[in-house]
Structure 1
């Protein structure tokens, strides 16, 4: 099979494709990563040597199309999985022209009605999704969005969650945390994580935190980098909680922080799934999330595993954070339902949907 995308050296999509590649190898499926438009090898130090990497060294879409045609005609794969918009358009157009001999599966990683605001981009996406052999949505919410806003036939959409829960998590959470607030018997720490952008709405998290801070000793750590760093620090100063808020920047692995959190908070305006919320639960953290499109309600089983609050509602978020700090759920409840996101099961589902293994003859590893 071929995984086709203009990958970066690191990133969320890149991490998930690395995990899938490892799991495909366990299923005796050898993936080829085909890079386009200046793409880089994702996580080169971690990528298994058995995964072949082909750099098309292409420039625009048409250059990519001609080079992909030549590559696939030499060695047609059983399936082509695209991971980003540029590669999806190239592969689907090639499929329509008869230049791509293999079925094309387009992975949709976010809620498209939220990310595609311009009319041209929406029309382009509508064309794209309709002509793929299959569209793979990473959550039920993304599937519903595709049907409602892009007129995609629901029969052409498969929901496959991201491969977020990996076998190495129990070992990763044991790693030390180089931050004084996570050592000793200090106040509990609320943890958030993600790009410091409007989508993640850390401004509302800060407002909620300030209200909790008025009533009890508590601290807030937001992991990640982004353009709103200074605005968030200024907001913390304005709210009078700067001494109890820290933005340490990007950390290579947030799981040890999650494992030591009093509560993890996802405050986003929208998501495709909310991988960081799954990671926090897998690390054993109690969690609170906004009921944003798409994913948190599915992950938290509509409030059964952790509270869901309206997007942008600082009062509701403060109440949920305080209630969870005072009465956190047990470990069994926190980890409930995480099997859906196990990397081996997710990879098997991909292989079944793409016709690379028979659904009735292969079982997930236990």
Structure 2
């Protein structure tokens, strides 16, 4: 690495797909703010021109340079600019939070963009091959070069260490961010349960969510299901709702960054994913006293939910288990009261200050 002038601040660049719409993207924006508050010199390089979440630091928006048609030569020209940015800024660390997994792209990053850089990879999903290529030799090469690999759940870190025969993977959870919005008025007049997140069937398993809701007693008890988010399967979900005869009680709403009124006024929040990482939506709900109902998928929910204390954690891929849990959390008043009262304190270890300190410890120790 080129020599650099002494500085009192450690220079860090976060590399992300964008700062919009997804949980991993929101976690990246939060990380920029936590590190900035801790006194780090923070930059963020994003590949797509999408910024929905507040961030701190210098933004290098590669996506804003895109023009159509986006040819290979144009993409290479943008990456040359990113390489020049790295060289000019002389970062102490590059923290790569992107979804990865393409061998060709990973080789390009490893041997060109990240050459002579100190890299920390972040993994936001239990499906680790969204973040590392399936070619073991290349994944191990990336990990061997890295200063560290951060998994956002214990299960992710353990899987990485086992799969790639390493001990570099450590766990740092996503934080709970206090809501900045002031408006908490209920956007709906009726009682409702809530799904909040990306609309993608192969991961989120809306089929299970809708079948569980239909088999439950909720619609008969005038408790509606609200689905809020965007993604590739919006049309599929809308069609599914109509085919199942649920149009009167299930409604899909577009993504909004102003989620507090939806979350705070929900009876409870639901999650039926096939797999996760460390789902921020669960801790967001708990932070404002909204209980959660989640399937026991890999990974994250079992590291957040204390069953019958701040919500319910149930068997995955079971319509019967889901419908029964929906009924229990909606109609068992004593259980609901316990979960609602316990919710905020159950995530007290996930404050932004606490998680920022864990990141600062890693970066400062590696910097010695």
TM category (shorter chain) comes to 0.7 to 0.9
TM-score for both structures, normalised by structure 2 = 0.80
CA separation of 1:116 and 1:53: change in aligned 2, threshold 3 A? closer
Distance in 1 (alpha carbons) for counterparts of 2:275 and 2:360: 28
CA RMSD of aligned residues (A): 3.3
Query: Corresponding residue for 1:311?
Result: 316
SS of residue in 1 equivalent to 2:226 = strand
Deviations 1:36-56 (A, max 9, x none): xx4437348x444xx223356
Query: Corresponding residue for 1:362?
Result: none
Measure how far apart 1:146 and its partner are: 1.3
CA separation of 1:28 and 1:245: change in aligned 2, threshold 3 A? same
Deviations 1:58-112 (A, max 9, x none): 9789877765665444443332211114597666446985x22xx3111111113
Distance in 2 (alpha carbons) for counterparts of 1:69 and 1:227: 32
Distance in 1 (alpha carbons) for counterparts of 2:236 and 2:141: 39
2:25 paired with 1:10: no
2:47 paired with 1:42: no
2:255 paired with 1:250: yes
Query: Corresponding residue for 2:207?
Result: 203
Distance in 2 (alpha carbons) for counterparts of 1:11 and 1:301: 28
Counting only pairs closer than 5 Å after superposition, residues 1-366 of structure 1 correspond to structure 2 as 1-12=11-22, 13-35=24-46, 38-40=47-49, 42-43=51-52, 46-48=54-56, 51-54=57-60, 70-85=84-99, 92-93=110-111, 97=115, 99-100=116-117, 103-113=118-128, 115=130, 119-120=134-135, 124-148=138-162, 150-153=163-166, 155-163=167-175, 165-167=176-178, 169=179, 171-172=180-181, 174-178=183-187, 182-183=188-189, 186=190, 188-198=191-201, 199-213=203-217, 216-301=221-306, 304-327=309-332, 328-330=336-338, 331-355=340-364
Provide structure 1 residue ranges, at least 5 long, that are not aligned to the other structure.
360-366
Distance in 1 (alpha carbons) for counterparts of 2:160 and 2:366: 27
Distance in 1 (alpha carbons) for counterparts of 2:221 and 2:114: 61
Provide structure 2 residue ranges, at least 5 long, that are not aligned to the other structure.
1-10, 67-71
Measure how far apart 1:14 and its partner are: 2.9
Deviations 1:298-332 (A, max 9, x none): 01036642211222211101111111112314333
Contact 2:14 2:28 in 1 (8 A): no
Per mean C-alpha deviation after superposition, the further-off stretch among 191-200 and 5-14 is: 5-14
SS of residue in 2 equivalent to 1:33 = strand
CA separation of 1:250 and 1:43: change in aligned 2, threshold 3 A? closer
Distance in 2 (alpha carbons) for counterparts of 1:66 and 1:226: 31
SS of residue in 2 equivalent to 1:107 = strand
